[in-house]
Amino acid sequence: MDERVTDVEGARTTDARPTDAAGEELLSRRTLITGAVGALGVAVAAGIPLMAGGQGAKAPAAPPVPAVPVVPVDATKVPGAPTTAVGTRSPFVKPSRAPVGEITGNSLTPLQDLAGTITPADLHFERHHAGIPFIDPSRHSLLIHGMVATPLVLSVEEIRRFPPVTRTAFIECSGNGRAAYREPKPDTTPQKAAGLVGNTEWTGVPLKVLLDEAGARKDATWMLAEGGDACLLARSIPMAKAWDDALVVWAQNGEPLRPEQGFPLRLLLPGFEGNTSVKWLRRLELGARPWMTRWETSKYTDPLPDGTARQFSFDMDAKSIITSPAFPQALTKGWWPISGLAWSGRGKITHVEVSTDSGSSWSQATLHAPALDRALVRFTHMWEWTGRETVLLSRAIDETGYVQPTRAELVKVRGIGTDFHFNPIVGWKVQGDGHVVFHGET
Amino acid sequence: MRGALIVPLVLVVAACSRDAASSGASARASATGEPTRHYGLGHAASAAEVAARDIDVGPDGEGLPPGSGTAQQGAIIFQAKCSMCHGPKGQGMPPVFPALIGRDPKAEGFSFAKDWKLVKTIGNYWPHATTVFDYVRRAMPQVLPGSLTNDELYALTAYLLASNQVIPMTTTLDAASLKQVKMPYVDRFVVDNRRGGKDVK
């Protein structure tokens, strides 16, 4: 009998979580486990949690800042640098995702440092619940099973042979903006206020093509999407979304996905809360009811003031934020472009309105084409600062007619303690001395 | 190691036969009613391949494996394998290590929307008992995921439910009894009623 099958079946009855890897991986996993047991033992002996110093605790030491090379007095009078295998940013440009946490960490898109709408892959926010797995694409595959005619295993290479499509879509974590909503603080940057969002040109295959390949049954109503990370993150997705605009993607802005974005495969559910676009996708199971995983019960549910909690609240409501001027900028008198980003999980943004007088009047900002379905759109509005204290605000309106609400309106319907989906109007107070601070109490 | 070499060959054979059967891209009807095309890519998953990954447990108990454990056994396992992160009483160590156990009387009205400092636990928030089993099996203990046996998982689930006053400390859990456990606040979970448009909900 095939040794692998024996191993798998043995694992099924004794181990709670069988491993599906070949013998080679079993070996390395055991080696790893032994190492981890050792580490655990040490931590237990010391009586300290293994991740002390992680999220929330003291910040890890900053990596040494590379020295700026000597800049010639006149760059036109000396030959320039040679070509390189992989490009780098100018030493004068130093964006940072400001990462926190180790195993259950996140990092934020530095919105204030970006122009246009596409988020560079290495600056896209990340959120994970068990670290970023290190995956060899030649040993990764996607299993599609459950209510299908033929349960299928597709290698990464095979998935890339289906008719590919490319589209732009944002991904926003539904926890984006929690701190700024609950306790707005003046020293909040755009990155801190709304950095759990990114916008990418994705390439992959429509999920419906794969569903048809497996012969998905019409009576399947839910699908479990599972990642191959160390928590096997899993979410139940309505089949209506799976048949509609879901993609299985492998590329991000023209290159293979970054590991922290799901290399080698991720699900992409445009407009849905980010957690459902399951990274490191390894399994799709079709069924007739949701699975009630931890990520759709304990987390990613929204307590409401009437003593209920909203569940499967997938759609991201329309939202906008001015990314400049913003804290910690200081303005001088004169003309400035007010520039920001807007998006809606329900379709296209039709208008963004900007107020430069603390909300007394609003004018239409310019939307920079193309304003795509479920993608970030850039808006700008030219404004002359005369030296008077004021508040700059923006509000997005989407094609369903939804108008981004104030914080007070949201607190009324969702409560201050609600846990996910924060899309209040926010803005920036320009003080008399030109210093700009966050204004969250709208 | 030998097994690892044999497997790909078996898979290649399966893939070839599937190709032959579908004889290139052929038109059939999708579940959506639209015409569709088959590309003959991938291979039909074997029962073992499905079993190796199909670990999910549903709220109806579907997928619960054989095995059993008591809350008392779970208490001992918890101290040995979980308390260093979640605290000896499961009270958590914020902000990184969540509380698992606790029924703060102030939170008993499910008033989390009014006060974000109220701590959500398995007892005062989680709608389904099967989620405890499913999640711990997937993800815990965090540094050694996938290392617990089914008996240990039943015991830990029993302990977490019992110490949250959902079931008595004397309970033994197995597939049949776990799916019967009703969580105190399951009825509070409602479907999303947001639809865009003028209403802010």
Query: What confidence score (pLDDT) does residue A14 get?
Result: 38
Q: How many helices (H) and strands (E) does chain B have?
A: 7, 6
Record: contact B112-A151, CB cut-off 8 A: no
How large a percentage of chain B has pLDDT more than 70? Answer: 86
Q: What share of chain A is helix, strand, coil (3-state, %, to 5)?
A: 20, 30, 50
A293 touches chain B (CB under 8 A): yes
Backbone CA torsion sign across B58, B103, A276, B158: negative
Q: Cβ of A258 under 8 Å from any chain B Cβ?
A: no
Report the sign of the C-alpha dihedral through residues B43, B47, B52, B54, in that order: positive
Cα distance between the two ends of chain A = 68
Contacts with A184 (C-beta within 8 Å, 6 or more apart), sequence order: A407, A426, A438, A439, A440, A441
Assess whether pLDDT exceeds 60 at residue A366: yes
Reported as type and span, the H/E element at residue A188 is: none
The tens digit of pLDDT for each residue in B58-81 reads 999 999 999 999 999 999 999 999
C-alpha distances out from residue B64 to A233, A293, B54, B164, B181, Å? 18, 14, 11, 22, 13
Parallel, antiparallel, or unpaired for β B35-38 and A427-430? unpaired
- Please name the helix (run of DSSP H) or strand (run of DSSP E) that holds residue A395, with its range, or none: strand A390-398
Indicate the range of A44-48, A316-320, A408-412, A429-433 predicted with least confidence. Answer: A44-48
What pLDDT, on a 0 to 100 scale, did the predictor assign at position B31? 81
CB A104 within 8 A of CB A55: yes
Q: pLDDT over 90 for what percent of chain B? A: 81
- For the cut 90, the answer to whether the pLDDT of residue B117 exceeds it is yes
Determine contact, residues A141/A282, Cβ cutoff 8 Å.
yes
Complete DSSP assignment for B156-191: HHHHHHHHTTSS-TT-EEEHHHHTTPBPTTGGGEEE
CB contacts, 8 Å: A101 with chain B: 96
Q: What is the reported pLDDT for A10?
A: 32
Q: What is the pLDDT of residue A428?
A: 98
Give the integer Cα–Cα distance in Å for A210 and A222.
16
Hey, are the CB atoms on B94 and A403 less than 8 Å from each other? no
A residues 152..171 contacting B (CB < 8 A): 152-155, 158-159, 161-162
Residues with Cβ within 8 Å of A298's Cβ and at least 6 positions away in sequence, in order, are B120, B122, B125, B126, B131, B135
Categorize the per-residue pLDDT at B36 as very low, low, confident or very high, splitting at 50, 70 and 90.
confident
Distance (Å, whole) CA B130 – CA B157: 9
Q: pLDDT value at position B34?
A: 76
Question: For residue A374, what are the CA distances in angstroms to A290, A319, A344, A345, A379?
Answer: 25, 11, 6, 5, 15
User: What pLDDT was estimated at residue A17?
Assistant: 62
3-state secondary structure at position A283: strand
Predicted TM-score of the model (pTM): 0.87
Residue of chain B nearest A310, judged by CA positions: B190
Q: At what angle do helices A3-14 and B2-22 cross, to 10 degrees?
A: 100
Q: Please tell me which of the candidates B85, B114, B126 has its beta carbon nearest to residue A416.
A: B114
pLDDT of residue A232 exceeding 90: yes
Average pLDDT over residues A267-278: 98
Q: Strands A255-256 and A281-287, how do they pair?
A: unpaired
Q: What is the residue whose two structure tokens read 């903006």?
A: A177
Size of interface A-B (CB pairs under 8 A): 301
Span A319-359, pLDDT tens digits: 999 999 999 999 999 999 999 999 999 999 999 999 999 99
- Confidence bin at A65 (pLDDT 50/70/90): low
- pLDDT on residue A101: 79
Asked if the C-beta of A373 comes within 8 angstroms of chain B's C-beta atoms, the answer is: no
Segment A388-422, tens digit of pLDDT: 999 999 999 999 999 999 999 999 999 999 999 99
What pLDDT does A9 receive? 31
8 Å CB contact between A310 and B188 = no
Q: Is the pLDDT of residue A153 over 80?
A: yes
Report all structural domains of chain A as residue ranges with CATH numbers, in order of start: 137-310 (3.90.420.10), 319-439 (2.60.40.650)
- pLDDT at residue number A188: 97
Q: What pLDDT, on a 0 to 100 scale, did the predictor assign at position B32?
A: 77
| Interface confidence (ipTM) of the complex | 0.88
pLDDT tens digits, residue range B78-110?
999 999 999 999 999 998 999 999 999 999 999
Chain A residues near residue B138 by CB distance under 8 angstroms: 17, 231-234, 294
Are the CB atoms for B166 and B181 separated by under 8 Å? yes
Assess whether pLDDT exceeds 50 at residue A44.
no
- Kindly state whether A12 is in contact with chain B, defined as any CB-CB distance less than 8 angstroms: yes
A400–B65 C-beta distance less than 8 A: no
Query: What pLDDT does residue B139 have?
Result: 98
pLDDT band at A105, cuts 50/70/90? confident
Do A278 and A266 contact (CB within 8 A), yes or no? yes
**Mean pLDDT confidence for B130-145:** 98
Give kind and range of the element (H or E) at residue A371: none
Query: Could you give the 3-state DSSP secondary structure of residue A27?
Result: helix
What is the reported pLDDT for A64? Answer: 62
From the list A132, A119, A320, A315, the residue with the least C-alpha distance to A230 is A132
Q: A243 exposed, middle or buried (CB, 10 Å; 0-12, 13-18, 19+)?
A: buried
Name the least confident of A100-114, A251-265, A295-309, B69-83: A100-114
Residue listed under structure tokens 């203990």: B141
Q: What pLDDT is recorded for position A242?
A: 98
Q: Determine contact: B35 vs chain A, CB below 8 A.
A: no
On the question of a cis peptide bond just before residue A184, with omega within 30 degrees of 0, the verdict is no
**pLDDT higher at A80 or A44:** A80
Structure confidence at residue B97 (pLDDT): 95
pLDDT over 90 for what percent of chain A? Answer: 82
Across chain A, what does the average pLDDT equal? Answer: 89
Report the length, in residues, of chain B: 201
In the three-class reduction of DSSP (H, G, I as helix; E, B as strand; rest coil), residue A238 is classed as strand
> What pLDDT is stored for residue B35 in this prediction?
77
Residue A148 tokens, joined: 């299908």
Residues 238-257 of A with CB under 8 A from B: 243
Closest of A182, A280, A144 to residue B116, by C-alpha: A182
Q: Mind telling me how many Å the CA of B49 is from chain A's nearest CA?
A: 7
Identify the pLDDT of residue B28: 63
Does the pLDDT value for residue A18 go beyond 80? no
